[in-house]
Structure formats: C-alpha cells, structure tokens
Structure 1
Amino acid sequence: MKSRLLKKLQLTLSGVLLTSVALTASAQTTLRVGSWLPPNHPQNSVVWPTWSKWVEEATEGRVKVEVEYGLGHPKTMFELVEDGVVDASFSYHGYVPGRFKLTQAVEQPLLGASAEAASVAHWRVFEKYFAKAQEHDGLEVIGLFTHGPGQIHMAEPIKSLAELEGKKIRLGGGVQGEIGHRLGVTAVGAPAPKVYEMMQQGVIDGVFIPMGEQKTLRLKEVAKNVIVLPGGMYLGSFAMFMNPDFLADLSDKDRKAIMGVSGEKLSAMAGKAWDEADGAGLAAAKDAGVNITEVKTGDALANEFVALTKGMDEAFLKSVADRNVDAEAALAELRQIARSYDK
C-alpha cells in the first residue's frame, strides 16, 4: 500500500513539474515601448496599438507590447533602447544632429507626397542604399516614417516669408534647421511637447510643424495663424527601433513573426496615421477659428518658398559625401517611389 501511495505521489509531483516547465516555456514576454508624445497622439493611440495587435497575433500571444511614458527627451530614446532600459521606441532623427544625415533625404522640400507615400519610399531606400552606412548602429530598425508636411504656425499673422526674419521659431532639427537658416529666423530648440508652453509664454513667435499638432498639441489655442504651403515646407524623418539583444533572446519563430509585421508594413501604417492626424488637425483648427492661409501653387508665397530652397539638394548630397553610398541615386529613387505610390 505504501509503495503504491509513494509511486502515486511521485507521479503527481512529476506531473506538476512538467506542467511548471511547460508553463515557463510558454510564458508571455513583455515588449516595453518607450514613448515621449502624449497618450492622445496618433503615434500612441493608433500606431503603437495597431502594431501591438499585429505582434500579439503574429506570435500567438507569446509577446505582449506595453507602452511606457515620461522617459525623458525624445533624443534619449535611441540610447535608452541601446542600453536596454526599454525594448523599443521611436524618435525624430533631427534631434541627434551629426549621427543621422542620410535620413534627411526624405525631408528635402518639394517632395509633394503624403506621409504614407514618403514613409514607404523612406523604408525602401533605406534598405537598398542607406542601411549599410550603419547610422542606426546598435539598434534594430523596425520602421521608418515621416510626419505630414511641416507648415508655419504663428502667434501673429505674416503675409510673406520675409517677415519671418528675426522671429523666434522653434525648430526641431534636420532640414528644418537649414530652412530656418535661409529664412533668417532666430532658432529655438525644444522637443515638440514643449511647444504649447513656449507659445503660451511668448518664448517663441511660432513653430514649423505639421497640421496635426493643432489638435494633438493644442496649438489651436496658442498659434492662431497658420500658413499652409502646397506640399509643406519639409517632411520630418522618424525611426522606430528595437534592442537587438531583446530580439536575439526570442525564439527564431517569434523574432521572424515580429519582423514580418514591421518594416514597410509598419512604415506605411505609421505614415497613414500621421496623414489622418493632419486632416483632423486642420478641421480642429478651423473649428477653433484659427486664421488659415491655404497657399496655392504659383502664388507669391509658394514661389517665395521655391526660390528659398534652391541648392538644397546639392547641400544635402555634399553633407553625406562621407557616408559612402550613392545618395544621388537614392534621392532620385525616393522621389520616384513617393510620387508614384499607389496604396
């Protein structure tokens, strides 16, 4: 009798142990995403939740994505992911001058394409031409996108670009900096979430930023005058990236699953979300009584801006000459892809 009871106990303990091992093997992994924009911003209300759903479905629930906020200046996101403080994040390339030069290809003025189209072109050209330059060394790039066309948001109205000379304008870096220099503005650096406060306190006279921020950053309350140029002044380049060690620790199956719902698919979705945010921002601005000047191609303001951008392609190509890539071919191909994009 004792022998049978002992054997039964051993079998029970073995079953518990095997169950424990099985549960450990199938334990859910949490992928922590760091974000620096407010929760209501489309990047956090649309892009990350959509990708999170894709990841969880692709990995059959083995990887769950959680977004964390309040981790500091957006430029630190690159380092936080490299160091493993968070597993993934996104940031604006212009916040880290000197490290990211090739990404300015998509920011050059007069592209005349939506953020979705530009984002797809951005990804394809990165894979074909720019990845080998290793500007994102230490990171696994999972997507590239742009915000919508950057426009001019001011506290007081202006009638010409010449009137911007000497004005205190918040610039986020990248091609914005060159445009601001050519306009003769007094550049003020700050992350986008600080713009509302700076406008409210009169620290700056205006900002170059896409229309979506009239709603998401509540600029409709403080920047009551907007000039909308055809195609905008520039596009802003962003990357979404992961810690390579986090990916390496996953099973080959889950690693492939995550990358399968990233890349061009993620880039296009992000660009589209930012496009839609611009439409919502324009509508919110109109509802709030913002004075919006919608400039048409051929108007004096549009021609003034075209003249201002002369030589910027050449300046960009010269700035990336040390990257050892065919930047001229890449720029031409990027424009061809973006302008012919058919979703």
Structure 2
Amino acid sequence: MKMKTKTIIRTLCAAALTSTLALSAQATTLTMSNWVPPTHFVMTDILQVWADQVGEVTEGRVKVRVLPKPVGSPAQHWELARKGVADITWGNFTYEPDRFKSLWFAEMPFNGDNAEASSVALWDTYQKYLSTNPTFAGVQMLGVGSLGPGVINHGSKDIITPQDLENQKIRMGGPIQKRLIEELGAVPIAAPATKAYELLEGGVLDGSLHTMESVVNFRLSEQLPHHTLIPGGFYDGTFYLVMNERKWKKLSEEDRQAINKVSGAAFAQLWGQEFKRQIDNATASLKETGHQFSAPSPELLEKIRSVRDNLMQEWAAQGADFGVDQPKEMVDFHRKRYLELTGE
C-alpha cells in the first residue's frame, strides 16, 4: 500500500513539474528599456503597473522584463524598439521633433490643465488621424501620454508681464518652447531637465521651463521659487510606449487582444492620472512651503496667444510634408475630445 502511495505521489509530482516546465517554455518574455531611475514614478507607478497588467491579462503567457539599464540614450528609444534592440521602449516625441512634427499641435500653449484628459484625447487623435501614417511604421503603438501644463519658473522674481521676461536666460527643450521664449524676448538655453540644477546653481540660467511635478522631482524647489501658471499650460509634452512590430506579430492573437485591453486608451488614462496626481501634489506642497504663484498679465497672455497662433498656422501649412491632409480638423478633434473628457 505504501509503495502504491509513493508511486502515486511521484507521478503527481512529475506531472506538476512537467506542467510547470511546459508553461515556462510557452511564456514569452519581452524586454523593456527604461531611461529614468528605477525609483522614478514613471517607472514605479506607470510602466511597472502596465507591465504587471500584461502578465495578468495574458495569464502569465507574456511577461515584461525591465532591463537593468537603458540600451541607448532617451532620444534613441524609438529606433531601439523599431530595430528590435529592445522589445519595448518609451520616450518623448519632442526628442525627435522633425520626425514627429505631426504631433506638434499637442505641445503648444493652452493644450489643457488636465493631463489625464489630454493624454486620452491624444490617444484618440492618434488612432483616428495618425495610426496609418508612415512616420509610425515599424512599431506597435501601445500608448501615448501628455506631460501636463508647462510652467514658467524663475529663480528670483515673478514673471507677470512681457517685460519681466526680457533678456532672461530660460532653459527650454524643443522647437516650440524655443520659439515661445525667443518671441517673448527671453534668451533660450537648450538643455535637458536633468541639467537644470547645475545650470541654475552656476548662474547660467535665470529660470527654467518645467511642469510643477518636475520642479519637485528634479529637486529644483530651492532654485525656482517663482511660478507663472498659464491657463491651459505654457507648453506641453507628448510621450509614447511602443513595441517592435515583428515581435508584436509573433504573439498569439489571444495575447495581442489581451494586451490591447490594458494599452491604448487604458494606458493613456493610467499615464495621465499619475501625471495629474504628481502635478497636483507638487503644487500643493510648494504652496505650503511659501513658493510664489502668479497669473500672467493680459498683455503676456495675448502675446503667448499670438505666438501660438502663428506657430499653428505655420505648422498646418506644412501638413502635407508630415502626412496629414487635414491638420486643422485633427487639432479641432483633439480639442473637442479634451473638452468632452473634462466636461467643459
């Protein structure tokens, strides 16, 4: 009897082991390249959350493994996915402005104060107008997101009128921010946000463009105590989450459908909710510590609007060059979706 029982146990254990090995063999592991610190909220509260969701909805058949270090610079991450150096990457469209000129409209002033609504509106706009655009070929677009309302931050004074900006050295990124700074009479200094601290400490900069969460998360609170909040944002930023197209097509139809359920609009919502939460928390924290928050004068607001209108007209006139036949229609659709999502 004991021998029979032992035989049954061995058989069951062998079967369980075989089943486990079979599942392991069937599981697909996708690599993700991440270029922010592993403790940054984009990694912990957005990308890792999404990666965990992928494992759950595919019942463990697809796993996402974040690489211990990035396999290239932030600006290279689109190409890294397209070429399959990493299976999945994320990045900022602004890092390749000429390539992704079709998305400039979503980075201009007055894009919106609600990062969740602007992120979802951006996804819906991409799906309707850009998903078949050759610019985006070679990857599977898994999601997009917006940075949220950009703020004019200064080290020593409130920026209220156009005169307050004259000859001020302001850190910025991308052609839209550069044009805004130049036409408002300030001196644009191109530098990544990660360099803002040392440039402010060294007196190279008088101010720097950031969202409120960026002021806190890049530890610039002491260097930038003055903030001018432009209704709808002085600028915005757009981001992507993409996967190598060949690797995507190798997944089963069942797993692709499952991953799509936690990607697309769902990812845009996840992204936007977290950025909105970070912005709201940072704003409240800085107000509590005595930071100065200013509203722009009507004169400054009108000047920003004038620069934006000129930029938008120039951009729309080049629509054929970046594969958009009806750029104004696309902009109007994006705005309409944003207003629907915010209930305005």
2:291 aligned with 1:263: no
User: Contact 1:75 / 1:91 at 8 angstroms: preserved in 2?
Assistant: yes
Residue pairs, 1:32-47, within 5 angstroms: 32-47=31-46
CA distance in 2, matches of 1:30, 1:197: 39
The amino acid that maps onto 1:75 is: A
2:161 aligned with 1:160: yes
Residue pairs, 1:206-221, within 5 angstroms: 206-221=207-222
Q: Show CA shifts across 1:254-295 (max 9, x none).
A: 2221122111111121112111111111123223432222x1
1:7 aligned residue: none
Q: Show CA shifts across 1:296-324 (max 9, x none).
A: 7x744434433443323212202333233
CA distance in 2, matches of 1:16, 1:299: 72
Cα pair distance change 1:273/1:317, threshold 3 Å: same
CA distance in 2, matches of 1:104, 1:238: 12
CA distance in 2, matches of 1:127, 1:18: 43
The amino acid that maps onto 2:197 is: Y
Residue pairs, 1:17-166, within 5 angstroms: 22-27=22-27, 29-68=28-67, 70-71=69-70, 72-157=72-157, 158-166=159-167
Greater shift, 65-74 or 45-54, is seen at: 65-74
CA distance in 2, matches of 1:16, 1:38: 39
Q: How far off its partner does 1:241 sit?
A: 1.0
Unmatched segments (≥5 aa) in structure 2: 1-10
2:241 aligned residue: 240
SS at match of 2:309: coil
Cα pair distance change 1:192/1:138, threshold 3 Å: farther
Identity of aligned residues (%): 32
SS at match of 1:86: coil
Q: TM-score, normalised by structure 2?
A: 0.86
SS at match of 1:328: helix
CA distance in 2, matches of 1:138, 1:246: 10
User: Contact 2:162 / 2:185 at 8 angstroms: preserved in 1?
Assistant: no
Cα pair distance change 1:245/1:174, threshold 3 Å: farther
CA distance in 2, matches of 1:219, 1:58: 39
The amino acid that maps onto 1:222 is: Q
Greater shift, 64-73 or 238-247, is seen at: 64-73
SS at match of 1:229: coil
SS at match of 2:221: helix
CA distance in 1, matches of 2:162, 2:134: 37
User: Contact 2:113 / 2:233 at 8 angstroms: preserved in 1?
Assistant: no
CA distance in 2, matches of 1:19, 1:269: 35
Q: Show CA shifts across 1:13-70 (max 9, x none).
A: x97996586245334x333222222334331121112212221111112222233465
User: Contact 2:109 / 2:304 at 8 angstroms: preserved in 1?
Assistant: no
Cα pair distance change 1:230/1:307, threshold 3 Å: same
SS at match of 2:136: coil
SS at match of 1:141: strand
The amino acid that maps onto 1:314 is: Q
The amino acid that maps onto 2:84 is: G
User: Contact 1:214 / 1:285 at 8 angstroms: preserved in 2?
Assistant: no
Paired residue total: 329
1:171 aligned residue: 172
CA distance in 1, matches of 2:115, 2:23: 43
CA distance in 2, matches of 1:310, 1:82: 34
1:185 aligned residue: 186
2:309 aligned residue: 310
CA distance in 2, matches of 1:202, 1:125: 41
CA distance in 2, matches of 1:199, 1:335: 35
CA distance in 2, matches of 1:83, 1:287: 47
CA distance in 2, matches of 1:181, 1:103: 21
SS at match of 1:135: helix
2:239 aligned with 1:205: no
Cα pair distance change 1:213/1:69, threshold 3 Å: farther
Q: How far off its partner does 1:178 sit?
A: 2.5
SS at match of 1:50: helix
CA distance in 1, matches of 2:186, 2:212: 20
Q: How far off its partner does 1:175 sit?
A: 2.4
2:275 aligned with 1:274: yes
Unmatched segments (≥5 aa) in structure 1: 1-10
Q: Show CA shifts across 1:235-265 (max 9, x none).
A: 2111111112222332232222112211111
Aligned CA RMSD, in angstroms, stands at 2.6
SS at match of 1:220: coil
SS at match of 1:208: strand
Cα pair distance change 1:249/1:310, threshold 3 Å: closer
Cα pair distance change 1:165/1:30, threshold 3 Å: farther
CA distance in 2, matches of 1:340, 1:54: 27
CA distance in 2, matches of 1:308, 1:21: 62
